[in-house]
Each structure stands twice: as C-alpha cells, then as structure tokens.
C-alpha cells in the first residue's frame, strides 16, 4: 500500500504551493488514477512522493519512506517523462546498464524487452525510438527490479488507442499480482475505464476520492456539446423551455463558443435553435465529466494555529541511490556507445601522424617520439583523449541521468566514484600502451629499428607516462563531477599544463637550500616494518615524478578537485 500524508510543495514565487496538504492512499492489488487538469499538481505530487521535490510531507511505501528503503528500485518503479538515456545507446544496452544499477542479472533486460513488445528492437538506438516505443522502454526500465509499486506520470499521453489498451492491460496484470499502480491522467474517461479508484485533485488539493464505478456514475454522464456564437442567448432559451416543460436540464458554459448541456438531446436542442433562429456550428452527443468540485480557497494571512499543529515534517530533495554493482555499471556505460572506441581510434591516428612528423624533423628525444608529444603542445593526444573519456564519465551522467529516479541529481556515493576512477584509469592506461606500441611500430616500419628502440630507463618512463594519462583522466572526471559538465572536465584537463604548471614553476623557481634526498632511507628508519631495498628505488622515482612541474601540477589539481567533490557530496547528504 502507498500512503501519502500531508504532501506540500515549496511555494512558488508570487503563487501558492503547487501541491497543498495532499493526503491519500493507493491500495495493493489496485490501479489508482490521479486525475487532474494540466497545472493541477499531478506531476509535482509524484515528485514529492519520490523525494525529488522540496517540500513537506511523507510518503510510505508499505510502511516505509523512500529514503529508509535499502534498495529503492526494488520497491518503486518510476516513469517520469522520456527515457533519460544517451540517444546513441541501444535499448538493450540501456536496460543492461540499468540492470547493473538495480543489482539484477543482465538477462532480465531481454526478458523485459519481450514483455513490453520490443524483443526484436533491442538493437534500436534511443534517439530513433517513436513515442510509443519510448514509453514501452520506460516501462521496461521501471519493471527491471520487479518493484511492488509503480508511479507513472501520464504514461498513455500521445499513444495510439491500441498502445493505450496494451499499456493498461500490463498495468492491470501488475496489480493482479498484488502490486500497487498509481498513474496520472487528465482524461476522465480513461480514468473511469482503466482504474479501480480515481483520485481527483485541483489546485494541488484532493477534491474527490471515489472508486471507478461511483466516479463514472457521478462524474461521467451523457451531454450535448453545442458550439454557437450566441451562447448566452441559447443557454437562456434552453433553460426557459426546460422550466416550462418541467425537465431537469443543466447548461454549463465551457468558455468561448462551447456549451455543455446535460439532460437533453441533440434533437431537442436543434429544434430550440431552429425555432428561435440561433446559428449552430456544432451539435454532438458526448460523454464527459461534470464540473469538478473546486478546492476550498485558503484566505491570505497567517496560517491558523490548528493547521500549524498538523504540519508534516519537512521533505527535502534527496539524491538518488548509486548502483548496486558500480564497476559493472560503469563498464556498460563506457562500452555501450561508440564514443570510447572513436576517441581511442582518433588518439592512435593523431599520435602516429605526430610521431612520424617529429621523427622526420629530427632532434626529438625518443620518449617524446613514442608519446607523440611536441614541445609546443600542452598535452599529448593520449593524455587529452584520456581526459575526454574521464570528463564523459560524469558529464554524460548529468546530461542523461539514468541513475536518477527522475530528472534529478546524479548520486555521489563513494562506490560509484571509485568505480569511475578505476574504469577511467584502466581505459587511460590501455590507450597509453596502445599509443606507445603503435608509434614504435610505425617508426620501425618507416625509419627502421634504430630509431624505435627500448630506452634503458623504460621503467621510470613507463610510470611517468602512465601517471600522466591517468592523472588527466581523473582530473577530467572529478571536474565534470563537481561542475556537472563535460566541458568543465575538459577545461580542467587543459588548465593543468596551461595554468597550473606555470604557477608551480614559479613556486620552485627560487634557490633551494633544503632537499628531500635520502627520504626513502629515512622512511625505512622510522617504519615499524622492513621492506625490500628495491622499494627505495621506486619511492625515489615517485618523488622525482612528483617533483616535475607537470607531476606537481597534476597532484595539486587532483587534490583540489577531490576535496571539492567530497565537499559537494557531503553537502548534499547533510540535507537528509
């Protein structure tokens, strides 16, 4: 059972709250429709229930609020608007990625594609899906973790009658197995036809709570829709004739040139208009809603004391939970689109061309030849490509927030950050190794084996080269996570050699009287345990690496970005 108690959104500027003290229940094994006109607060109510909107109140899903449920995706499935996925990602890839987030097997994606009728369209890209197919995919994403409750915002909007019938049949099947279904709609006839219970809201307040049969009997009845430029005159004539014949006829002005007449027929209204020479533009039998009762107005001024005592606890916007299998999720996110292979191919091609040109001019040291790093470039192509992949790791999360319950914030849990750091580092190291191997083979092919040989200090060079590309990848990733933009991540990568390195060089430009030489030996003396003497060489190499301007700049930038990321994450958690 779903219980919403005292849902109240934060008041808008110069307006009252979109949802005001909304309280209702949606029972298990039932389909409940939240009915209202556009602007009545239906979508805001759903977002308040999912804790994606600031306000007050509490929503209990089988007795527990959402933030106290360990795995929310297994309790609540949502469909709020379009599927928030990368347009180049396929439907199957999107669902497999969400399977890792929900902690369910990848085979569940194929099962759900078959359930929603997209079994043969799993390879279709999200950007090419029609509205009906997008709705089906969104419903499959909501059902991935087999949730008990479904919250759907206008799921049938824009669908054909056949797709609409299929959708409500699926919702009815979910409710028949004991689930709870709550969906919003603005069509009273759809609510009466497909729901077990209809909740009518107006101006953010509940004005009616009826079962479908009672709703159809009291709110849906035959009427005659009349369009005429003389609405006032025709309404008066119909009312006068009804009083003369002692019939119960109700005339409602719908605005403009439209009248809704209840208790009469097209023939009677047509005869009345003909006898009195009233021009008629439209005359049709319809089945529609009677005017809904208006929510009571709350006078301006101080809130009454009795209402203040019943104010529900504050409800603030909470970030969505992170994926249950973050490394698997990140791998599927990275490999689900062609961006990573295209970036890798472009980096290999650019590195090979630059390496050949540098070897042709002569005078370039071998390490810079193999890394394809001319002195006039701030970064080699491999480092820039690694930074781009790192920036995309978080930039795409904010652009296509697949992890959020709605179009809300992307989670900042440390498990997700660690997974992104590990996967981006692996991709950067792989790209760096391929660049060196490719450049060496191209140089050996064009200029012979004398030019591309293994340098004697290849170990230190390998560590330095790997640290550079991994540092650029992490700088792009952390900056994109802090500033929520891929462009910001790329700017942070370029800022390291362009801005931070000159600052570091100025810091160490003065004369130095103290040095850290012999630090590994002194660390050995202070340590409680002994380590192999080979470790001293690695520590010395690491110190030399950090002492370099680029290394120091990267270390400084990564430290600042990591602190900023953790501070923004802690600030978001402090609102809980």
Cα(545)–Cα(295) distance, integer angstroms: 70
Are the beta carbons of 76 and 87 closer than 8 angstroms? no
Cα distance from N-terminal residue to C-terminal residue, the chain: 24
Residue 543: predicted pLDDT: 47
Cα(316)–Cα(512) distance, integer angstroms: 53
Cα(358)–Cα(92) distance, integer angstroms: 45
Are the beta carbons of 78 and 406 closer than 8 angstroms? yes
DSSP reduced 3-state for 420: helix
Cα(322)–Cα(328) distance, integer angstroms: 12
What are the residues whose beta carbons fall under 8 Å from the beta carbon of 208, sequence distance 6 or more?
198, 199, 200, 215, 219, 292, 293
The CATH architecture one would assign to domain 2-216 is 3-Layer(aba) Sandwich (3.40)
Ordered by start, the domain boundaries in the chain are 2-216, 218-289, 326-573
pLDDT tens digits, residue range 326-367?
999 999 999 999 999 999 999 999 999 999 999 888 778 888
Residue 478: predicted pLDDT: 94
* Number of alpha carbons in the 13 Å side-chain half-sphere of residue 208: 22
CA 306 to chain centroid, in Å, comes to 40
Q: Is the pTM of this model over 0.85?
A: no
Cα(237)–Cα(291) distance, integer angstroms: 22
Alpha-carbon distances of 572 from 252, 317, 391, 408, 412, rounded to whole Å: 51, 9, 21, 13, 9
**Given phi > 0 = left and psi -120 to 50 = alpha, else beta, which region is 198?**
beta
What are the residues whose beta carbons fall under 8 Å from the beta carbon of 453, sequence distance 6 or more?
366
pLDDT one digit per residue (tens) for the chain, 576 residues: 899 999 999 887 777 889 999 999 999 999 999 999 998 999 999 999 998 888 999 999 999 998 888 888 889 999 988 888 899 999 999 999 999 999 999 999 999 999 998 988 899 999 999 888 999 999 999 999 999 999 999 998 878 888 899 999 999 999 999 999 999 999 888 998 899 999 999 989 999 999 988 888 777 777 888 999 999 999 999 999 989 888 888 888 877 888 888 888 899 999 999 999 999 999 988 766 555 555 444 444 443 333 333 444 565 556 667 788 999 999 999 999 999 999 999 999 999 999 999 988 877 888 888 899 888 888 899 999 999 999 999 999 988 888 876 655 788 788 999 999 999 999 999 999 999 999 999 988 888 766 667 777 777 788 888 988 999 999 999 999 999 999 999 999 998 887 877 776 666 555 554 454 555 555 555 555 565 655 555 555 554 545 466 767 788 888 889 898 888 876 555 433
* Number of alpha carbons in the 13 Å side-chain half-sphere of residue 85: 30
* Residue 377, φ and ψ in degrees, nearest 5: -95, 135
CATH topology of domain 218-289: Alpha-Beta Plaits (3.30.70)
Residue 299: predicted pLDDT: 45
- Render 147-196 in DSSP notation, one character per residue: -SEEEEESTTTT--HHHHHHHHHHHHHHHHTT-EEEEEES-HHHHHHH-S
Cα(71)–Cα(299) distance, integer angstroms: 42
Cα(77)–Cα(521) distance, integer angstroms: 59
pLDDT tens digits, residue range 407-448?
557 887 889 999 999 999 999 999 999 999 999 999 888 887
């Amino acid at each position: 059972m779903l219980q919403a108690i005292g849902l109240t959104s934060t008041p808008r500027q110069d307006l009252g709250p979109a949802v005001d003290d909304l309280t209702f229940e949606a029972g298990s094994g039932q389909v409940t429709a939240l009915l209202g006109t556009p602007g009545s607060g239906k979508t805001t109510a759903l977002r308040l229930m999912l804790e994606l909107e600031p306000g007050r109140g509490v929503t209990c899903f089988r007795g527990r609020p959402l933030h106290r449920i360990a795995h929310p995706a297994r309790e609540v499935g949502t469909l709020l608007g379009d599927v928030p996925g990368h347009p180049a990602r396929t439907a199957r890839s999107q669902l497999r990625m969400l399977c890792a987030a929900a902690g369910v097997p990848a085979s569940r994606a194929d099962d759900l594609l078959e359930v929603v009728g997209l079994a043969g369209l799993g390879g279709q890209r999200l950007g090419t899906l029609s509205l009906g197919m997008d709705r089906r995919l969104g419903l499959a994403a909501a059902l991935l973790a087999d949730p008990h409750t479904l919250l759907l915002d206008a799921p049938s909007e824009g669908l054909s009658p056949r797709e609409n019938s299929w959708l409500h049949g699926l919702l009815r099947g979910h409710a028949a197995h004991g689930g709870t279904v709550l969906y919003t709609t603005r069509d009273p006839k759809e609510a009466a036809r497909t729901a077990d219970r209809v909740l009518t809201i107006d101006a953010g307040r509940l004005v009616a709570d009826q079962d479908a049969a009672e709703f159809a009997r009291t709110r849906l009845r035959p009427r005659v829709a009349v369009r005429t430029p003389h609405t006032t005159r025709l309404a008066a004539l119909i009312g006068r004739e009804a009083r003369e014949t002692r019939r119960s006829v109700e005339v409602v002005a719908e605005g403009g040139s439209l009248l809704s007449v209840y208790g009469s027929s097209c023939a009677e209204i047509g005869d009345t208009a003909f006898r009195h020479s009233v021009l008629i533009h439209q005359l049709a039998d319809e089945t529609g809603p009677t005017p809904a009762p208006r929510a009571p107005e709350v006078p301006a001024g101080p809130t009454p004391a009795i209402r203040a005592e019943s104010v529900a606890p504050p409800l603030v916007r909470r970030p969505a939970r992170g994926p249950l299998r973050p490394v698997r999720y990140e791998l599927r996110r990275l490999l689900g689109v062609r961006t990573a292979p295209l970036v890798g191919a472009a980096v290999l091609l650019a590195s090979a061309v630059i390496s050949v040109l540098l070897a042709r001019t002569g005078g370039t040291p071998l390490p810079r030849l193999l890394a394809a790093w001319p002195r006039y470039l701030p970064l080699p192509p491999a480092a820039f490509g690694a930074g781009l992949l790192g920036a995309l790791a978080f930039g795409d999360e904010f652009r296509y927030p697949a992890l959020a319950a709605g179009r809300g914030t992307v989670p900042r849990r440390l498990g997700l950050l660690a997974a992104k750091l590990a996967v981006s580092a692996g991709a950067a190291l792989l790209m760096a190794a391929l660049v060196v191997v490719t450049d060496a083979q191209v140089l050996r092919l064009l200029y012979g084996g004398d030019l591309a040989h293994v340098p004697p200090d290849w170990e230190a060079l390998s560590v330095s080269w790997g640290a550079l590309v991994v540092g650029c990848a992490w700088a792009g990733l952390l900056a994109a996570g802090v500033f929520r933009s891929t462009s910001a991540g790329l700017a942070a990568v370029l800022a390291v050699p362009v801005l931070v390195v000159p600052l570091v060089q100025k810091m160490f430009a003065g004369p130095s009287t103290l040095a850290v030489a012999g630090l590994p030996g002194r660390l050995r003396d202070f340590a409680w345990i002994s380590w192999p003497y080979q470790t001293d060489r690695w520590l010395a190499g690491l110190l030399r690496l950090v002492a370099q301007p680029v290394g120091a700049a990267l270390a400084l930038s990564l430290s600042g970005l990591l602190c900023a990321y953790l501070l923004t994450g802690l600030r978001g958690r402090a609102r809980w």
